[in-house]
Amino acid sequence: MQEGAVLEMRGISKFFPGVKALQNVDFTLRSGEIHALMGENGAGKSTLIKVLTGVYEKDAGDIYIAGQNGAVSIRRPQDAQKWGISTVYQEITLCPNLTVAENMYIARTPGSFTSWKKMNAGAKRLLEELGIPAEPGRQLGDYSIAVQQMVAIARAVDMDCKVLILDEPTSSLDEQEVAKLFRLMRDLRAKGVGILFVTHFLDQVYEVCDRITVLRDGQLVGEYAIENLPRVQLVSKMLGKELDDMAAIKDDSAADQAASGAPVLEAQGLSSSDAVYPFDFSIRQGEVNGFTGLLGSGRSECVRAIFGADHVTGGHVRVNGKAAKIRKPLDAMKHGIGYLPEDRKRDGIVGDLSVRENIILALQVLQGPFKPISRAQAEKYADEYIRLLEIKTASSATPINQLSGGNQQKVILARWLLTNPQYLILDEPTRGIDIGTKTEIQKLVLKLAAQGKSCTFISSEIDEMLRTCSRLVVMRDRHVVGELTGDDLNQTKIMETIAGGEH
């Protein structure tokens, strides 16, 4: 093993039917370092993590842990825990029906009996130390996802781990929570813990990491020290090609044209039961606008209200000038509106159904229950979009849950494009997606606009929205606080509008 390394993986390979998820990958993690693992979707990041944590069994290669002679065997999560490897996943892996304290200590205490007193006391101490707003005795399920995640991290931290794996921990956290997390990570680094940080947020990588390992198509591209790898180079290594200057994507002339188009949808005083305060909204033909604001400011809730996905409690809506009643998704669909939801797995894909069935689903619902789309026709549609959007799948009959995240997203996009909408709402279409597909999606949005369709684009990455939107609706605390166009479309102005108050 290398000097100072806590973990070494050599020649790791993992195969699934028809897919080489990992081929001969090496990875080294040193004590007291924060190491980013990066790559597009399908690059093999999550497979590597799962092999390391015992969720998958590797097909070839060895894993070495500091202090152990020879390779160690990791076949189940318990083995990983035994070697001092702790993981905090993007999805909460705690039990919401148990208390906070119990979640922190379960399966870790010696003996067969539980001492509630000790558990609660220990949990209280740890929660206060880390500044987590949770009470040891409360049911975990009573708290938001962000707090639940912090409890998960507290548990990992308390386990005296040598290797801490954080798999996309910041996706559901707001800025303050991210700052807390980073402070925690730096503390742990100082204590000699090796942290493996998986994320898609480039800013965060450059803020807190020491080294980067890049994977592409299941193979190792290289390991670099952060100071030796500027962003543009990182991105090009992840993509394996030179990148055009992404800032130059937007064509300003299109934006001018859009400003004079006919209004496609106008809403006044729209509110929903998901606690969105009444807001006004309008969008014109050929326009691309966006919703921005901090996490939890109500961006998704607004577009869901527009689509009728949540229980709409008030407001007037006009589509193409005529009054319209949009109380459920089908109403919106009949008016030519499509919606790509934020949570792909929960709201987007229908897992066991094939790619083909997922693509035709919305169109089928529009056609009604007595006009089934024939198998031959469905295959034609599916093949067309697989080709058009370059969806990587073995065939159109493959169950969609076997595709990578990015390709699943493309299938959902295909589904809505097939319905030929006049207005498409995309909520975080690029979250959890590799950079290559991100660019494709942004280019597609602009192309749609050029064809006269309207689009709402929501993203946590302001860069993306600046590149595609000609108007930004700014939200704070579930209120719409401003609308920015033209020259106001820059980072500073956006931040100011979000922050509000005295400058």
Partner 1 sequence: MGTKIVRKDGRLQKRFVMSDSNVLLTITIVVFFAMYAAAIVFLGSGFRKPNSFCNILNENAGMIILSCGMSIVMITGGIDISVGMMTALITMTCAVNLDMHGGNIFTALLISLGIGLAFGLVQGYLVAYLDIQPFIVSLAGMFFAKGMTTIVNANPINIQNAAFIAAKDTHILLKGIGYMNKKGKFITAYVEPGVIVALVIVVLLFVLLKWTKLGRSFYAVGGNAASANMLGINVRRTKFLAHLLCSTLAGIGGFVYVLHLGSGSVTNGQGAEMNAIASSIIGGTMLTGGVGNIIGTLFGVLSLNTIKQIVASMNLTDPWWKDITVAAMICLFLVIQKIVLARKKTV
Partner 2 sequence: MPKNALKPREKKAFASRLSWLVHQQLFIPLAALALLILFNLIGDSSFFSIYIRTNNSGNKVLGGNLISVINDGSELAILAIGMTLVTAASGGQDISVGANMAIAGSVIMRILCGSASVANQAQAPVIVAFLAACGVCMLFGAFNGILVAYLKLQPMVATLILFTAGRSIASWINHAQPMNLKDPVLSYFGTYIPGIPIPTPVFIAIACMIVAALVLKFTTIGLYAQSVGINASSSRLNGLNPALIKFLTYVILGLCVAVAGFVKVSRVSTINYSNFAIDIEMDAILAVALGGNALSGGKFSMPASILGAYTIQFLTTTLYKYKVPSTALPAYKAAVVVILVVLSAPTFQAKATKAWKKLTAKSGAKEAV
Q: Which position among 50, 415, 467, 478 is part of the footprint of partner 2 (CB under 8 A)? A: 415
**Which 3 state secondary structure label does DSSP give 105?**
helix
Q: Which does residue 350 bind out of partner 2, partner 1, none, counting CB within 5 to 8 angstroms by kind? A: partner 2
Q: What separation, in Å, do the N-terminal and C-terminal C-alpha atoms of the chain show?
A: 54
> Mind giving me the DSSP string for 271-289?
EETTTEEEEEEEEETT-EE
CA atoms within 13 A on the CB side of 225: 3
- Token output for 69: 């002679």
| 433 vs 242: CA distance, rounded Å | 19
For position 72 contacting partner 1 by CB under 8 A, the verdict is no
Binding range to partner 2, per CB under 8 A, among 53-61, 108-116, 188-196, 342-350: 342-350
Size of the site for partner 2 (CB under 8 A): 27
- For the segment 85-114, give every residue that binds partner 1 (CB under 8 A): 87, 89, 92-99, 102-103, 106-109, 111-114
Q: Between residues 1 and 55, which has the closer beta carbon with respect to partner 1?
A: 55
Q: Between residues 50 and 344, which has the closer beta carbon with respect to partner 2?
A: 344
Q: Between residues 141 and 192, which has the closer beta carbon with respect to partner 1?
A: 141
CB 163 within 8 A of CB 194: yes
How would you label 282-297 residue by residue, b for 16+ Cβ within 10 Å and e otherwise? ebbbbbbbbbbbbbbb
How long, in residues, is the chain? 503
Q: Which position among 75, 118, 125, 138 is part of the footprint of partner 1 (CB under 8 A)? A: 138
For position 73 contacting partner 1 by CB under 8 A, the verdict is no
CB 1 within 8 A of CB 20: no
Rounded to a whole number of angstroms, the minimum distance from the CB of residue 373 to partner 2 is 8
Rounded to a whole number of angstroms, the minimum distance from the CB of residue 154 to partner 1 is 13
Q: How remote is the C-alpha of 129 from its chain's centroid?
A: 29
Q: Which does residue 97 bind out of partner 2, partner 1, none, counting CB within 5 to 8 angstroms by kind? A: partner 1
Q: Which does residue 330 bind out of partner 1, partner 2, none, counting CB within 5 to 8 angstroms by kind? A: partner 2
From residue 370 to residue 399, the character string flagging contacts with partner 2 as x (rule: CB under 8 A) and all else as - is x-x---------------------------
3-class secondary structure per residue, 377-445 = HHHHHHHHHHHHCCCCCCCCCCEHHHCCHHHHHHHHHHHHHHCCCCEEEEECCCCCCCHHHHHHHHHHH
Q: Which position among 54, 341, 405, 436 is part of the footprint of partner 2 (CB under 8 A)? A: 341
- Token output for 258: 């859009």
List residues near partner 1 by CB under 8 A: 77-78, 81, 87, 89, 92-99, 102-103, 106-109, 111-114, 116, 133, 135-139, 141-144, 147
List residues near partner 2 by CB under 8 A: 307, 309, 328-330, 333, 339, 341, 346-353, 357, 361-362, 364-366, 368-370, 372, 415
